[in-house]
Amino acid sequence: MAHLRFEALRKLNERGRVPVDLPKPLISQFFAENVFGMEQLRATLAPAIFKKVSSAIKNHEKIDDTTADAVASAAKSWAIAKGASHFTHWFQPMTGGTAEKHDSFFDALSGIEKFKGSELVQQEPDASSFPSGGIRSTFEARGYTAWDPTSPMFLYGKTLCIPTIFVSYTGETLDAKSPLLKALKAVDVSATRVCQLFDKDINHVTASLGPEQEYFVVDKALFMARPDLVMAGKTVFGHAPARGQQMEDHYFGSIPGRVYDFMKEFEIECWKLGIPVRTRHNEVAPSQFEVAPLFEEVNVANDHNQLLMDVMSRVADKHELKVLFHEKPFAGLNGTGKHNNWSLITNTGVNLYAPTSSARDNLLFLTFFVTTIKAVHEHADLLRASIATAANDFRLGANEAPPAIMSVFIGSQMTAVLDELEKKGNVKIEKGDNMYMKLGIDQIPEIILDATDRNRTSPFAFTGNKFEFRAVGGSDNCATAMTALNLIVADQLDKFHEAVTAEIEKGTEKRLAIVNVLRKYIKESKAIRFEGDGYSDEWVKEAAKRGLSNIKNTPRALDAYLSKKSLELFEKHGVLSHKEVEARNEIRLEAYIKRVQIEARVIGDLAMNHIIPTAIVYQNKLIENANGLKGLGVDNKTVVQTIKEISGHIDAIKNGVREMIEERKRVNKMTDTHKRAIAYCEDIKEAYFDKIRDAVDKLELLVDDEDWPLVKYRELLFLR
Ligand code: ADP
Ligand code: MG
């Protein structure tokens, strides 16, 4: 086995750089050249048809057959002219990732390339292989994909990709996108209604998302020589390198050449696909990096993030690299997240989370600001559940990632504003439009745009003109978190509107009514606000005192979806039915179990088949040495001591693996998925993973480096 490691290291030494040039001098000359978007529609459709399409897209209306035929025909001509041979419905099943089934444009019967409107609008992939959480077995065995015209088609390789949702024949949604679209609709309606209290010109509110994507990059040969990376996407063993991230020198360091080439190339591919990637930099841990796009409407931003991950994986291959999105690929180093920067923006171009210099507009800002905090307070457990996965469990609360406790950071200036508003809140309405609040609210913009007022330890932070949900996992589909966030904000905005309307009906002046409700919200949601160090032990205690949840693992976190409060929330806004929520939880629990199970198997196999044999070989060498020393009459105490130490670790590993296998046998018999998931978490993962790892990592320090079979952390992480 060790030969694989050294073979990989030899390859690493021979690697050269892969030079990458921009295809054209300016990015603007090729940006979105592989996107069939509004511009292309306008250019290729008859004006009357284009009008129909654009209004249908804007107002989320159904597109009729004739119009769909025209769009399909235009898309086909565009794609074929660019060399496409196939089309596919591109969707996001609950497995994570994306799925596609390619069909050729070529129709052998007629001998020509064809693409009908009906094929654009709806397709039937073989749904039986996608998880449905029991929906299909109980109800309907087949599903279909349906065109989402709000996200543009794009050409990927030789295939025209059509973003779609995935639904069972009985109407239950089986993907990540469908509920997201519904939640976005809900927040549009609710936010618009609240905006109308301020400005009648506002008739649409769009949620936007800028997902900052973190990732690790490792050499492909080294990756292939680590079965745990290949099978589980993470290392299950590995002693911390002598130098980790304690030097804190990676963050602003220069990007290694090979990684730089890789970045340049995947950025080019992204630009062609209309993905507005913008920022690249090193992250805190060695070999960790980040790419951030310019924010876009949530649905498109999320499709782009899904596509980005795919593009990155493919391009990495060309550079003999592997990109890791796993939430915790290396113990002892920072995990990988996907900060979801989020805001609401009106059709009049106002970012509802951007404070302004006018007191009147700031009341609108404060309304959304306070209502969002209130929503997070009300539904913290649901937000926590929305980001729960087996892999993210290793990251949350691991002293360097957002804690599993949901809290909101708003900065000292906004804290002062809310405190003032809560305590005094005496608002004087002057004649006309002039409103004066004894808060110094006019002062907000200058102050909070001060970027030094930042807290990196908060899972949900206000960052000047947007909120940043930082607990989302690096490999996750943002749709689930974004569905929850937009939904809870929509609901709270509805409640806000009701409360204000009730006050107005009692005769309170509108703006006073608004301030009164906001003051109430500030008081009620105070416990969720936290400005201190979210990684500290004090916060764990303090949060408990405040009654905030600290749910450490996925199986328990997911329970929040099934609470009466959550079920009502999903049903009321038509986002997910009771049955759908249950099915989704079942899918996620099953996914959890499988992930832990795979990891347990990888740990067992590696430990028994690679580590122990290696340790024994080395131990035999020591025994020979000890005997030799003894024969010469030389003191062999330290060698004997090492031999004993190795024996101790070998025993610990053997016993651990054997017991863990017995536990799996027992747990696998449990029929209740929820109970089985909890058992996998507590009786397998928590009971054995660290214990076995500890013994293996100790052996790594004892066994001759020449014999050690697994590529070491220092080799994986210090790519140059
Ligand atoms: P940071 O310091 O957190 O990296 P940036 O300004 O670089 O902040 O923004 C990070 C991400 O936030 C980018 O994707 C950016 O486009 C996005 N972003 C900025 N403004 C908004 C907004 N109003 N709504 C949503 N995302 C936004
Ligand atoms: Mg950020």
What CATH number did the domain enclosing 80 receive? 3.10.20.70
702 found inside a domain? yes
| 460 and 558 inside one domain | yes
Residues 652 and 546 in one domain: no
Question: Which ligand is nearest to the Cα of residue 470, counting in written order?
Answer: 2
Same domain for 141 and 191?
A: no
Q: What angle (nearest 5°) sits at the alpha carbon of residue 54, between those of residues 49 and 58?
A: 150
pLDDT of 478 over the 90 cut: yes
Assess if residue 582 is contained within a domain.
no
Asked whether residue 18 is domain-assigned, the answer is no
467 lines ligand 1 (CB under 6 A): no
How many folded domains does the chain comprise? 3
pLDDT at 443 over 60: no
The model carries a pTM of 0.94
Verify that 143 and 267 share a domain, yes or no. no
Residues 556, 636 within the same domain: no
Cα dist. 109→9, 70, 84, 102, 289 in Å? 54, 22, 20, 18, 51
Burial 234-266 (b: 16+ CB within 10 A, else e): bbbbbbebeebbeeeebeeeebbebbbbbbbbb
Distance from Cα 468 to the centre of ligand 2, integer Å:
7
CATH number (domain holding residue 474): 3.30.590.10
Evaluate whether residue 509 is within a structural domain: yes
DSSP-derived letter for residue 240 is: P
**Per-residue confidence at 241, pLDDT binned at 50, 70, 90?**
confident
What residues have CB less than 8 Å from 109, skipping those under 6 apart?
none
Considering only CA atoms, which of 607, 599, 700, 613 is closest in space to residue 652?
Answer: 607
**φ/ψ of residue 213, rounded to 5:** -100, 120
Share above pLDDT 90 across residues of the chain, in percent, rounded to a whole number: 73
Domain assignment present for residue 203? The answer is: yes
Mean pLDDT of the chain: 90
CATH number assigned to the domain comprising residue 697: 1.20.120.1560
Which of 187, 297, 341 has the most ligand 1 atoms within 8 A of CB, as the residue to mutate? Answer: 341
Per-residue pLDDT, averaged over 554-575, amounts to: 97
End residue of a domain, out of 542, 576, 610: 576
The protein residue with its alpha carbon nearest to ligand 1, atom 14, reads: 210
**Ligand 2 mean position to 212 CA, how many Å?**
7
- Counting ligand 1 atoms within 8 A of each CB, the residue from 466, 470, 472 with the most, and so the one to mutate, is 466
Looking at residue 169, its pLDDT comes to: 78
> Is the shortest distance between the CB of 336 and ligand 1 below 6 Å?
no
Tens digit of each residue's pLDDT (9 = 90 or more) over 354-363: 887 666 678 8
Check residue 361 and give its pLDDT.
73
Tell me: pLDDT of 47 over 90: yes
At 444 the pLDDT is 40
Residue 212 in this model has a pLDDT that exceeds 60: yes
Which range among 160-174, 422-436, 470-484, 684-698 shows the weakest confidence by mean pLDDT? 422-436
> Which of 576, 598, 617 lies at the terminal end of a domain, its last residue?
576
In a domain, 21, yes or no: no
Residue 599 has pLDDT above 50, yes or no: yes
Do 44 and 133 reside in the same domain of the chain? Answer: yes
Same domain, 557 and 605: no
Kindly state the average pLDDT of the residues 539-556. Answer: 95
What is the pLDDT averaged over residues 198-224? 96
For residue 19, being part of any structural domain is answered with no
Distance 341 CA to ligand 1 centre (A): 6
Q: Is the CB of 192 under 6 A from ligand 1?
A: no
**440: pLDDT confidence band, cut at 50, 70 and 90?**
very low
Report the SS3 class of residue 548.
Answer: coil
Ligand 1 contacts CB of residue 469 (under 6 A) = no
The closest alpha carbon to 308, from 339, 336, 266, belongs to 266
- Mean pLDDT over residues 234-258, rounded? 76
Q: Tell me the residue range of the domain where 52 lies.
A: 2-11+30-175
Evaluate: CB of 294 within 6 angstroms of ligand 1: yes
498 and 628 assigned to the same domain: no
Does residue 351 have its Cβ closer than 6 Å to ligand 1? yes
Residues 665-715: tens digit of each pLDDT: 999 999 999 999 999 999 999 999 999 999 999 999 999 999 999 999 999
**How close is the Cα of 415 to the center of ligand 2, in Å?**
20
Tell me which range, 455-459, 564-568, 582-586, is most confidently predicted by mean pLDDT: 564-568
Say if residue 576's pLDDT is above 90.
yes
Do both 218 and 358 map to the same domain?
Answer: yes
Choosing from 295, 346, 449, 486 the residue with most ligand 1 atoms within 8 A of its CB, the one to mutate for a pocket test is: 295
Give a yes or no: residue 228 inside a domain: yes
CB of 341 closer than 6 angstroms to any ligand 1 atom: yes
168 and 190 in a common domain: no
Last residue of a domain, one of 576, 609, 635: 576
- Angle, nearest 10°, between helix axes 637-668 and 690-702? 150
* Ligand number nearest to the C-alpha of 452: 1
Which stretches of 97-252 are assigned E, i.e. beta strand? 99-104, 106-107, 112-113, 122-123, 143-147, 153-156, 159-168, 205-219
Residue 653 — pLDDT band, cuts 50, 70, 90? Answer: very high
Residue 446 has pLDDT above 60, yes or no: no
Residues 162 and 194 in one domain: no
CA distance 194 to 206: 14
Residues 217 and 346 in one domain: yes
- Residue 328 is predicted with a pLDDT of 96
Q: Which residue puts its alpha carbon closest to atom 19 of ligand 1?
A: 295
